[in-house]
Amino acid sequence: MFPTADTEDISQVTSLTTKSGAASDAQDSVENTQVATQQSNRELTLNMLIKEMVFCIALALTTYGALHNTPTKISKHPQAIRFFKSDSIVRDWYRGQLSSALAGVNRADVSFVMYYAPWDAESQYVRGEFEKAALVLKDRVLFSAINCWNPGSECRLQNNKIPSWPILMVYTTISRGVLYKGPRDAYSMVNFLELMMRPLKRVSSSEDLVNLLSYCDAVAVGYTPLIDTSKYYNVWYTVALKIREADTLGEICFASVTSEELAVDLGVESVPNARLMLWNDTKEYISRDGDIQAWNDSSLMQWILENFSQPVQRIVPMWRKAFSFEKYVDGNPILMLFTPLNPLYEQLPAYALLREVAMEYYNCKNNDSSQWTSELVKLQQVQRLLYQQKNFTKFCQEFKFKAPVKKHSIFKKEVESQNNKYPWYNTTQKNQKSGVFNFLLKRGFTMSKDMESVDDNSQILSMLDWLQECSLKTLPAERSFYENYDQCQTFEENFVYEPVISTAQEEIETTMLPLEDDPLSPDNLIQDGVKHFCKIMRFAMEFGPSILTGSQSDERHNMTQIHGLSCAHNFSLHMIAVDSVRNHHFAESLGIDISNKKDMTAVVILDSKHESQYLLSEDYNAKSIREFIYNFTSKKLKRSLRTHVDDAAHTHYFGSDGATEQMGISGDSVHITDLTTRTFRRIVRTPGTMTIVCVCGGACSALTSRALLSAARLLASTGLVLRAARLDALRHDLPWHYTVQHYPTILVFTSRRPGEADSKSYPSGERVTAAGVVALALRSLPAPEHLRVRLVLCSAVQNYNERKTCLRDIKEHVTTLIGRNLKYWRRAQDRELREALLKRLQHLHTLSFHISLFHITDLNANSVKQTLLLNTLSVLSKNWNIDISVLSKNATTSSQRMRS
């Protein structure tokens, strides 16, 4: 019992004095208790003091360690070194000096800046392409590179969340920077910079506008007169620059009309205004309630990108390839043109031809813009044919670069402009103007007032009368042009491009600099422009020459008509163009050996709905592509089988073509052969050989390959001539009757099938095992070979009960064969067939007799009974083959007799 607070014991324990009692025993007891209690208190106090001392020492050590702990040792980052060579044209700010780099950028008209990380593999690849582009445009563009990864650098501190490297930016004097998102090769970079240096084309007449329509996918025209203010023009100029982030190829041409009179003639009622002229329509930018505030770069860019459309899409797969093709995979077939798409050529004849064909294909007659599209197709065809006749290499070689002559005074010359060498109009009579121009007038174009006021009998019109069909920039797209095409070409070669100078010269004093001292003089600017053009053309030739699509004579006769064919059926083709130089692996994955195609150009139609593809077997030209589309629509094309391309080094496929000598495999070995579309039929039709083929969706799994190999090894040990093979169905197409519904699928091709190879397939949904593959192979064998193989398999069994079961199954199988053939004999009515079946039944009864006498102890090579049984099977195999197809005919005849 514990003492309470008012007991005398507590006072005795806590008191320092002792009290005497009545008896000595009681006194001794109290004294002893007091001494023991005091010792216990001392021990408790001592323990508490020790604990407190230990705690204080630990606290002191912790505090000391915290105050004197050395910082974590971190290795210093390596010192920044040059990413570009010291003598490189590219100015390398390898220490990340951002402010110094931007100071140089601000002093240049156009700058191209690469923000890189020296360890990044993509940055290391782009480095060479960036420097190659700098060699071409070093006189016009400032190329700089900034190391934005160097820790502690100015660029790293201000831009520490860059998701990927490198970042390519173009800066101009009026823009804060345009991000380059296109392909990172030198040719695409040079093309992008050319677009940035000349973002707008000035339209001074309706002819200039029609000329742009003849080779551009779309033309965005801004009507921004410079009468009162230039801010509307500046906004349009900014739109032309910023939109290149989305349109890196320059598919949208930007033009500007700065004349208010011309804007009125072109049907524009109020300015500023914008029109987007497409292949089948013209969109007009309408601000909300005429609000001028809506004229800003963000609204205009959004409007252009939302309304832009083109008949043929140029796909430039970057990192997300699936998203590039995703919107075209909607169940409709896709026509893909693989051809070199050189970004530096003004026109691409192969692409332009497909665009003409697509415009005809989509141009339905019930559309309001049908006539507009038809005339535009003819105009583009003329431009393409004329462009193919140009020889830029010859022009640059024969162009005479004249050295400027020092002149302190100039003469006033009357020079006839040669900018538009051939007039657009039929200048003899107004009622003979071309159909295209008259139609374009109805669409909102109007000819200039000067040409309207020209007299029909004037000297200019009479002189240019015979050139009415030879306009270089805006040729009339009429049938008469094709008849005079050769005369136009002869005139083109013999025409002299010399300005007409009047004999009267008036000397004019001027304060202008001498020509050799003025780099901005007209002559020097022309010389510099031609030099730059020839330099770009020489660089473009390194990518490849222009692809010709045939002469005009090839496109004149027997042309298949496909006008409005997309509206005649319940499906329409999506037409896509892909660069075959940079993206050749796409063609190779479709089984197209693009490197061996003429001009690396091929056309393929992918029909995902029917799981088919069709390849253009002829050369690509205006006639063949139209017939190809027409035959596909009419379902007259033969399906082409996709297979592995042997020379496709970039498809990352490491299969074999059936040759095993180089692999060190002997004829006695059991191996798996990788099949292709070309080798499939040859191998499965090999006489006297059973072929087991595993069809997989991609690479076959290890489990499937192991089961196939084990089954082949087991069957080969029985003396069966067998070959194991596998096929990647995602890379190799098979004929329709061999198309499988699930992967993997095991097909067994027997050795004695006449004609087209027949097969047995593994049950769907079942797990592929070696025993299952062996059972499938046994079912495919004729009865004599089946029994022979099973007999050998029974000999390989070691367990007594399993041998007994195996032998009993063979006996039951022979009994089943006898019953089945007896049924055939009873149904047969043909005498020869009955005799053949009777002979087979006799051999089966002999076999049944020998198998009944067979015991499991006879399953050895030295057994006389086994030798006798094998001889019986050999005799049966010689008399086994009977044409059982006659049975079905006899059965049909007998059933008809019974009904009658």
What are the pLDDT digits (tens) for 547-600?
887 766 556 567 788 888 888 887 889 999 999 988 888 888 888 888 888 889
Distance CA 507, CA 99 (A): 52
Sign of CA pseudo-dihedral 71, 72, 76, 77? negative
Instruction: Return the DSSP state at 226.
Output: -
The most confident of the ranges 474-483, 494-503, 554-563, 647-656 is 554-563
Q: What is the pLDDT of residue 449?
A: 34
Beta bridge partners of 112: 143, 170
Contact 371, 206 (CB under 8 A): no
477-480: which pairs have CB atoms within 8 A and are 24 or more residues apart?
A: 477/375, 477/377, 477/378, 477/379, 477/381, 477/382, 477/434, 477/435, 477/436, 478/378, 478/434, 478/435, 478/436
Lowest mean pLDDT across 359-368, 457-466, 672-681, 813-822? 457-466
Q: Rounded CA gap, 726 and 159, in Å?
A: 53
> Residue 784 has what pLDDT?
85
For 546-592, the DSSP string reads: PPP---TGGGTSSPPP-TTGGGSSS---EEEEEETTTTHHHHHHTT-
Q: What pLDDT score was predicted for residue 629?
A: 92
Instruction: Kindly tell me if the per-residue pLDDT of 898 is higher than 70.
Output: no
**Best-predicted range by mean pLDDT (189-198, 489-498, 578-587):** 189-198
Give the chain's mean pLDDT: 76
Residue 194 has pLDDT above 90, yes or no: yes
Among the ranges 20-34, 254-268, 509-523, which has the highest mean pLDDT value? 254-268
Least confident span in 90-99, 622-631, 780-789: 780-789
pLDDT tens for 333-343 read 999 999 999 99
Nearest by Cα to 337 from 304, 360, 318, 312: 312
Is-contact 201 212, C-beta < 8 A?
Answer: yes
Question: What is the reported pLDDT for 510?
Answer: 56
The distance between the two most distant Cα atoms of the chain, rounded to a whole number of Å, is: 164
How would you classify residue 232: left for phi > 0, otherwise alpha for psi between -120 and 50, otherwise beta? alpha
Q: What is the 3-state secondary structure (H, E, C) of 115-161?
A: EECCCCHHHHHHHHHHHHHHHHHCCCCEEEEEECCCCCCHHHHHCCC
User: Who wins on pLDDT, 679 or 138?
Assistant: 138
pLDDT at 852: 85
* Residue 323 pLDDT > 80: no
Which token pair is 577?
């163009």
Burial label for 3, CB within 10 Å (0-12, 13-18, 19+), is exposed
pLDDT at 431: 34
Mean pLDDT, residues 287-292: 58
Greater confidence (525 vs 136) lies with 136
Which residue would you say has higher pLDDT here, 467 or 511? 511
Query: What pLDDT does 502 receive?
Result: 43
Q: Which residue has the higher pLDDT, 184 or 660?
A: 184
Report if pTM > 0.85. no
pLDDT at 530: 87
pLDDT at 577: 93
What is the rounded distance in angstroms from the CA atom of residue 152 to the CA atom of residue 146?
Answer: 14
pLDDT at 287: 64
Instruction: Check: CB of residue 693 under 8 Å from CB of residue 747.
Output: yes
Q: If you average pLDDT over residues 212-222, what whole number do you get?
A: 90
- Reported confidence tier of residue 840, pLDDT bands at 50, 70, 90: confident
pLDDT per position as a tens digit, 434-474: 444 444 444 433 333 333 333 333 332 332 333 334 443 33
Q: Is the pLDDT of residue 188 over 90?
A: yes
Q: Cβ–Cβ contacts within 10 Å for residue 598, how many?
A: 10
Task: Name the least confident of 91-95, 194-198, 299-303, 492-496.
Answer: 492-496
**Res 108 pLDDT > 80:** yes
Per-residue buried b or exposed e for 471-510, using 16+ beta carbons within 10 Å of the residue's own CB? bbbbbbbbeebbeebeebeeeeeeeeeeeeeeeeeeeeee
What are the residues facing 409 on neighbouring strands?
509
- Average pLDDT in the 238-242 region? 93
